[in-house]
Amino acid sequence: MSVVVNEIRTGVYLDSVALMRVSREIAAREGVEEAGLMIGTPANRAILRDAGVLNEVGETAGAGDLVIAVRAQTAAAAEAAMAEARRLIDRGRASPSGGAEGAAWRPRTTRAALQALPEANLALISVPGDFAAAEARKALDRGLDVMIFSDNVPLADEVALKQRARAAGRIVMGPDCGTAIIGGVPLAFANAVPRGDIGVIGASGTGIQEVTCLVARLGGGILHAIGTGGRDLSAEVGAITTLTALDMLEADAATRTIVLISKPPAAHIARAVLDRVAQISKPCVVCFLGSGELAMPANARLARTLEDAAYLATGRTAPRADAGPTAGPARGPLICGLFSGGTLSAEAQLVLADAGLTLRSNAPVPGVAAIAGDDLGAGHTLLDLGDDEFTRGRPHPMIEPATRDAFVARACGEARIGVLLVDVVLGYGAHADPGGHLADQLAGLASRPIVIASVTGTDADPQGYAAQVAKLAAAGVHVAASNAQAARWALAAVAGLPR
C-alpha cells in the first residue's frame, strides 16, 4: 500500500527549474513512486491530486504556498524522501539561484567574496557571457587568477583579458573553460584523480578529463590541469594562456611531466608553442588531435590520441591491436558514435579514419566529412551531441543523459548500424548515474547493435567508475578501457562486413 506524505512551505520562492530538479531527485530515490513540488494553486493541486500524490495536508495549500508531495512504497521511504526534499530546498534557498529571503549569507560579488576569504587567489566566473569579461577584469584587478566557465564571451574581450593577465603575471583560463584541476582541487566538470607529478594544459574539457582519468587508472597522478578555453590556440588569441600555463608548470617544482592537449592550432601558433616547449627542462607530451606529423623538440613526444598522451605521460606503452569483445559479427556494416564529449568524438574519428573508414560528423576532425543533419544510417556517423546545435535550450548530455535517448533509440532501430559507440563521462557536475541511465534504456529496446562504451572517470568520482562499468556490463554493453580502445573495438566488430 502506497504512502502519501505532503508538506506545505509558506514564503519559499524558488524558480521553477530549481523545483523541477528537486522533484526529479526525490522521485529517483529508492522506494519513491512519485514526487512533485508545486505552488499550491487550485489548478496545481488538481494536477497533484490526479497524479495521486496529494493528501489532506496538501489540499489546504494556497497560491502563496509551496506543496511538497511524495508518494512512496513505505512510510519510511516517504519520510526519508521528504527529509531530503527539505534539505535540497534549504540548500537551494541558500544558493545564488534560489534567491530567497532569509537565506544564509553568500557573497554576491568578488569584492565581498575576497573580504570573506582574503587568501583566495583564483576566481571562477560563471555568469552570462555579456557580464563575464567585466567580472574577469574585476578579479584580475584584485590580483586573482581567473577561470571563466561562461561561454559567449566576445573574442576581443578574451584577447584583452588574456593580455592584461599575462602582463600582470596572472592567468585567464577560458572562456568556456569547463574543466580544471588546480593544486589537486577539481574545478567545475573535473574528476577526482590522485595528486601526482603530471601537469596538463588543455583546450578541451573532455580531453582533459579523459587524459587525467587514464593517467589515474594507469597509476599516475595530477597536480594541475589548466584549461585554456577552446579558442586559445587560434591565430587571433595566439596561445596566450597556453604559453602562460607552460611558464607556470615549468616553474612548479612538483610538476615533472607536462601534457599539452588541443585541436590542431594554426601553423605559426603551433611553432610558437613548440618553440616554448623546447625551452622547458621537463619532458613534455604534445597531443594536437588531428594534426599530421609534427617535428617535436628533443624533450617532447607527439601523441596521436588522448590515450597515447596518457600512456606516454606515465611512461607506459599504449596497446595497439585490440581484437575487442567476442560478441560475434555485427548485424550491420555501419558504426554510429553518439558522444557527449566533443574531444572524445574527435579522438574516435581519428582512430576510425586512420583505419581507412570514410566518416561523417557534425564536428569533424581534418579529413572527415561535415554533416549538418543527423541521418544516422547513411554512413559511419559520429555525432558530438554536446555541440551547440544539440544543446540549445536543453541540458548538455553530460548533465542530462536523457538528451541522448532519442538518438540511441534511432540508432538501435536502424538495421544497417552494427555498432553503437558511446561515451559515459563521470565526475563532478556530471549526471549522478549516466551508465545506469543508458543501461536502463538499452534494456527496454527490442533490438540493438553491439554497444561499445568507454567510461571517463575514476573510482573516487561521485558516480564510481567500477559501479558504472558494472551497470553497463550487466546490460550487455562492452566497456573498453579507453575511448580510443572503444573505437578500435568498433572497427574490429565491423571488419570484413560489406559496407
Partner 1 sequence: MSATIPIVSIGRRAAEDVTRARRADVVGVFASSFHLETDAGRLVCIGHPRIGNGPVNALAVWDDDLATCAALGLHVGQVAAIGNDEIALAGGPVFRLDAAKVWMWPAWPVMTSRQAQADLCDEVTAYVRDTAPAEGLARVLLGEEPRERLAQVLFRTAQAHVATLRGWCDGLGGRDRASDAQAEVAARGLVGLGPGLTPSGDDFLCGMLVALRAVGETKAAEDLGFWISRAPADATTRLSRAFLAAARDGEPTEGLYAAVAGVLAADARLLGHGLELLAATGHSSGWDMLAGALAVLARREW
- What's the closest the beta carbon of residue 434 comes to partner 1, in angstroms? 16
Window 101-130: residues binding partner 1 (CB under 8 A): 101-103, 108-109, 111-112, 127
Asked if 444 touches partner 1 (CB under 8 A), the answer is no
Task: Note whether 211 and 204 are within 8 A (CB).
Answer: no
Count of positions on this chain that bind partner 1 (CB under 8 A): 47
For 470, list phi and psi in degrees, rounded to 5. -60, -40
Nearest one of 317, 137, 313 to 225, comparing CA atoms:
313
Residue 399 grid cell = 548533465
Nearest one of 269, 344, 260 to 303, comparing CA atoms:
260
Question: Parallel, antiparallel, or unpaired for β 334-339 and 284-288?
Answer: unpaired
Task: Note whether 5 and 82 are within 8 A (CB).
Answer: yes
- What's the closest the beta carbon of residue 37 comes to partner 1, in angstroms? 9
- What's the closest the beta carbon of residue 91 comes to partner 1, in angstroms? 16
For 373, list phi and psi in degrees, rounded to 5. -90, -165
Task: Note whether 33 and 81 are within 8 A (CB).
Answer: no
Window 60-79: residues binding partner 1 (CB under 8 A): 62-64
* Rounded (10°) CA dihedral 364, 365, 368, 369: 30
Residue 162 grid cell = 588574456
- What's the closest the beta carbon of residue 386 comes to partner 1, in angstroms? 16
The residue (of 108 and 320) whose beta carbon lies closer to partner 1 is 108
- What's the closest the beta carbon of residue 461 comes to partner 1, in angstroms? 26
Asked if 6 touches partner 1 (CB under 8 A), the answer is no
The residue (of 48 and 203) whose beta carbon lies closer to partner 1 is 48
- What's the closest the beta carbon of residue 377 comes to partner 1, in angstroms? 23
- What's the closest the beta carbon of residue 13 comes to partner 1, in angstroms? 6
Asked if 408 touches partner 1 (CB under 8 A), the answer is no
- What's the closest the beta carbon of residue 39 comes to partner 1, in angstroms? 6
The residue (of 236 and 440) whose beta carbon lies closer to partner 1 is 440
The residue range among 80-88, 98-106, 292-300, 435-443 that interacts with partner 1, by the rule CB under 8 A, is: 98-106
Binding mask 289-328 for partner 1 (x = CB under 8 A): ----------------------------------------
Residue 174 grid cell = 577560458
Using the 8-state DSSP alphabet, how is residue 201 labeled? Answer: E
Asked if 13 touches partner 1 (CB under 8 A), the answer is yes
The residue range among 11-19, 116-124, 354-362, 415-423 that interacts with partner 1, by the rule CB under 8 A, is: 11-19
Q: In the set 3, 8, 27, 272, which binds partner 1 (CB under 8 A)?
A: 27
Q: Give dist(CA 146, CA 402) in Å, integer.
A: 32
The DSSP result for 208-272, as a single string, is: HHHHHHHHHHTT--EEEEEE--TTTTSTTTTTHHHHHHHHHHHH-TT--EEEEEESPPPHHHHHH
Longest Cα–Cα distance of the chain, Å, equals 76
Residue 274 grid cell = 613548440
In the block, residue with C-alpha cell 546545435? 389
Q: In the set 36, 186, 207, 418, which binds partner 1 (CB under 8 A)?
A: 36
- What's the closest the beta carbon of residue 28 comes to partner 1, in angstroms? 10
- What's the closest the beta carbon of residue 198 comes to partner 1, in angstroms? 36
The CA R_g of the chain, rounded to the nearest whole Å, is 24
- What's the closest the beta carbon of residue 424 comes to partner 1, in angstroms? 20
Q: Give dist(CA 248, CA 228) in Å, integer.
A: 13
The residue (of 49 and 301) whose beta carbon lies closer to partner 1 is 49
Asked if 143 touches partner 1 (CB under 8 A), the answer is no
Window 385-404: residues binding partner 1 (CB under 8 A): 392-394, 402
The DSSP result for 19-70, as a single string, is: HHHHHHHHHTSTTEEEEEEEE--HHHHHHHHHTT---TTGGG--TTEEEEEE
Q: In the set 3, 8, 25, 51, which binds partner 1 (CB under 8 A)?
A: 51
State the residues that interact with partner 1 by CB under 8 A: 11, 13, 15-17, 19-20, 23-24, 27, 34-36, 38-39, 41-44, 46-48, 50-51, 53, 62-64, 96-97, 99-103, 108-109, 111-112, 127, 131, 134-135, 392-394, 402
